[in-house]
């Protein structure tokens, strides 16, 4: 974060503008955020692409430096996916983890090589499996025995031999929010190592003429601030890979430890990317060697730690309210529609006034959104005395914000502006009211009629 002294005064607007002489302004990705708020409107998602690239490189460099075998970094698209980001990820040499037909379709439309796409999901539809097969995705990660039956039938009907990984539930209870924990045996994801389902799946895949088993996958959870759950999962996957190698009389090719590295929202202190790569790289290399296995391709699937801290959301302050009981509310023009994470996970955030970034906090606010319920965005936010028209900047909103936004209260979703080399570029435009009406089968659509008439006139 850095700030710069205020350029020329604000243009007149609907709301009173803050005085630009009051202090310094927040820069993000080398751009003046107050200026971006005026130019693109608020709420507005910003993404510092230079930081995203740096994170992609940190993962690739880290694995190359600390793991003596081949490695592969797979970006988890569910954290944030735009056409621009697909291209960036491809340029940085990462693979892409997609979880739905929608993500596959955007990846394909952006020109992402399907051979470098890996498809996840605990209940992929038949249509999604067929789409993935037809596109030629590089890996399909099988989550259950029943899914394997269906996948095999689809592959056979399309005459395609599909490389697959098996997602296992390693039985690791990661210390994170219960909704973000996915490696336990008693969970919906994956084939439990315990009880024989994962072993049965190895036999089943090996017997199939249409599936080519390449390796084992596990993802134990998200927003992890220690590496121990990942290391424990790695140990269990290595043991299982050793069992599979003995069973199949040949080692598998790959071991995928999933994503999960946490980021700093307020006061968390997750290990840096390089430390994760060092710990996992060394542990996997020595674990494989001690089991007499070759150095399999080591895969990781980070999402949040690639894009999370590169994101910033800008809101315009509508006003403040002091209650008789002494509470101070600050209302902004977004909320749970663009960020459902406080409501879902009790997530906490840091924020500053972007247009007065150098002023020290003098009081504490509850930052509330515009949606029709409590919609508490930040429960306790130290700020200077806020005024209508100030720009509130909330940090660490790159992952699972744009991706999880909704149209609650029929509020259009924000635009996303990418910042690169100190320049802004519209990456996703703001939704319009027309976008919102488009799916209403019960409306006559005057604009469609007009378009039809226009084209009828042309022909
Ligand atoms: N691989 C698999 C199979 C996953 O399920 C996930 C995330 C990842 C990789 C990437 O994990 P990351 O590196 O981003 O932690 N909506 C929640 C997060 C859900 C994560 C789901 N799976 C949130 O807002 O915190």
**CATH no. for residue 357?**
2.40.37.10
Residues 245 and 332 in one domain: no
- Distance in Å, CA 325 to ligand 1 centroid: 40
**Residue among 77, 78, 218 to mutate when testing ligand 1 (max atoms within 8 A of CB):** 78
**Residue among 222, 336, 346, 405 to mutate when testing ligand 1 (max atoms within 8 A of CB):** 222
pLDDT of residue 451: 57
CA distance 352 to 311: 14
Q: Whose C-alpha lies nearest to ligand 1, atom 22?
A: 222
**Residue among 303, 341, 397 to mutate when testing ligand 1 (max atoms within 8 A of CB):** 303
Atom of ligand 1 nearest to the CA of 79: 14
pLDDT of residue 13: 35
Atom of ligand 1 nearest to the CA of 177: 25
Whether 59 is in a domain gets the answer no
According to DSSP, residue 182 is labeled -
**Residue among 99, 260, 300, 336 to mutate when testing ligand 1 (max atoms within 8 A of CB):** 260
Atom of ligand 1 nearest to the CA of 259: 13
Whether 109 is in a domain gets the answer no
- Distance in Å, CA 80 to ligand 1 centroid: 10
Residue 2 host element (H or E): strand 2-5
CA distance 209 to 361: 65
Mean pLDDT by 10 residues, the chain (459 residues): 36 38 81 98 98 98 98 98 98 98 98 98 96 98 96 97 97 85 84 94 97 97 97 97 97 98 97 98 98 97 98 98 96 98 97 97 98 95 98 98 98 98 98 96 72 49
* Total domains, the chain: 2
pLDDT of residue 23: 53
Whether 358 is in a domain gets the answer yes
pLDDT of residue 184: 80
Residues 247 and 157 in one domain: yes
Q: Which residues contact 390 (CB under 8 A, 6 or more apart)?
A: 18, 316, 317, 353, 354, 355, 356
- Distance in Å, CA 96 to ligand 1 centroid: 13
- Distance in Å, CA 262 to ligand 1 centroid: 10
Q: Whose C-alpha lies nearest to ligand 1, atom 6?
A: 259
CA distance 455 to 459: 6
Residues 297 and 319 in one domain: no
Task: Identify the burial level of 385 via C-beta atoms within 10 angstroms of its C-beta, where 0-12 means exposed, 13-18 middle and 19 or more buried.
Answer: middle
Whether 113 is in a domain gets the answer no
Task: Out of 302, 318, 334, pick the residue that ends a domain.
Answer: 302
- Distance in Å, CA 93 to ligand 1 centroid: 20
Residues 291 and 379 in one domain: no
Residues 292 and 351 in one domain: no
- Distance in Å, CA 404 to ligand 1 centroid: 12
- Distance in Å, CA 428 to ligand 1 centroid: 22
Cβ neighbours, 10 Å, residue 24: 16
Verify whether residue 372 is a known catalytic residue: yes
Residues 332 and 394 in one domain: yes
Residue range(s) defining the domain that contains residue 389:
27-49+309-436
Omega cis (within 30) before 43 = yes
Residues 224 and 323 in one domain: no
Residues 130 and 250 in one domain: yes
Which residues surround ligand 1 with Cβ inside 6 Å? 76, 78-79, 97, 120, 180, 219, 222-223, 258-261, 301-305, 341, 345, 399-400
Residues 334 and 432 in one domain: yes
Whether 154 is in a domain gets the answer yes
Atom of ligand 1 nearest to the CA of 262: 15
pTM: 0.92
- Distance in Å, CA 258 to ligand 1 centroid: 9
Helices 145-158 and 126-135 sit at what angle, rounded to 10 degrees?
50
Whether 398 is in a domain gets the answer yes
Q: Whose C-alpha lies nearest to ligand 1, atom 5?
A: 219
Q: Whose C-alpha lies nearest to ligand 1, atom 16?
A: 400
Residues 164 and 207 in one domain: yes
Residues 37 and 140 in one domain: no
Query: Please, what's the largest Cα pairwise distance for the chain?
Result: 76
SS3 197: helix
Q: Whose C-alpha lies nearest to ligand 1, atom 24?
A: 400
Task: Give the active site residue among 56, 86, 372, 381.
Answer: 372
Whether 447 is in a domain gets the answer no
Whether 273 is in a domain gets the answer yes
CA 387 to mean position of chain CA atoms: 33
**CATH no. for residue 226?**
3.20.20.10
Residues 244 and 363 in one domain: no
Q: Whose C-alpha lies nearest to ligand 1, atom 23?
A: 400
């Amino acid at each position: 974060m850095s700030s710069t002294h205020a350029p020329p005064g604000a243009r007149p607007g609907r709301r009173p503008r803050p005085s630009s002489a009051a202090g310094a302004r927040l820069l993000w990705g080398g751009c003046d955020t107050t200026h971006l708020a005026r130019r693109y409107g608020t709420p507005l998602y910003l993404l510092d692409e230079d930081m995203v690239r740096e994170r992609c490189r940190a993962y690739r460099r880290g694995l190359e430096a600390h793991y003596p075998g081949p490695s592969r970094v797979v970006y988890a698209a569910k954290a944030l996916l735009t056409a621009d980001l697909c291209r960036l990820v491809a340029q940085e040499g990462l693979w892409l983890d997609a979880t739905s037909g929608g993500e596959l379709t955007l990846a394909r439309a952006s020109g992402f090589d399907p051979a470098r796409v890996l498809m996840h999901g605990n209940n992929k539809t038949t249509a999604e499996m067929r789409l993935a097969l037809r596109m030629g995705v590089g890996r399909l990660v099988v989550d259950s025995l029943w899914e394997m039956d269906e996948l095999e039938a689809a592959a056979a009907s399309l005459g395609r031999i599909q490389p697959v990984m098996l997602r296992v539930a390693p039985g690791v209870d990661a210390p994170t929010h219960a909704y973000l924990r996915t490696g336990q045996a008693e969970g919906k994801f994956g084939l439990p190592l315990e009880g024989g389902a994962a072993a049965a799946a190895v036999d089943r895949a090996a017997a199939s003429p249409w599936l080519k088993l390449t390796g084992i996958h596990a993802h134990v959870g998200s927003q992890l601030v220690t590496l121990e759950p990942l290391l424990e999962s790695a140990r269990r996957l290595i043991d299982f890979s050793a069992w599979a190698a003995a069973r199949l009389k040949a080692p598998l090719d790959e071991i995928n430890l999933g994503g999960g590295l946490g980021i700093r929202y307020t006061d968390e202190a997750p290990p840096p990317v390089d430390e994760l790569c060092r710990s996992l790289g060394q542990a996997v290399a020595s674990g494989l060697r001690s089991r007499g296995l070759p150095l399999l391709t080591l895969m990781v699937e980070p999402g949040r730690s690639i894009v999370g801290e590169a994101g910033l959301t800008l809101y315009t302050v509508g006003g403040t309210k002091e209650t008789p009981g002494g509470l101070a509310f600050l209302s902004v023009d977004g909320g749970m529609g663009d960020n459902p994470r406080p409501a879902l996970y009790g997530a906490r955030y840091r924020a500053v006034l972007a247009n007065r970034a150098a002023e020290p906090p003098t009081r504490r606010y509850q930052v509330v959104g515009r949606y029709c319920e409590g919609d508490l965005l930040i429960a306790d936010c130290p700020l200077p005395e806020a005024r209508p028209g100030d720009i509130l900047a909330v940090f660490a909103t790159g992952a699972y914000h744009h991706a999880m936004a909704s149209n609650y209260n029929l509020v259009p979703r924000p635009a996303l502006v990418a910042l690169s080399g100190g320049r802004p570029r519209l990456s996703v435009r703001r939704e319009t009211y027309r976008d919102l009406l488009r799916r209403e089968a019960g409306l006559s659509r005057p604009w469609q009629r007009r378009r039809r008439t226009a084209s009828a006139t042309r022909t």
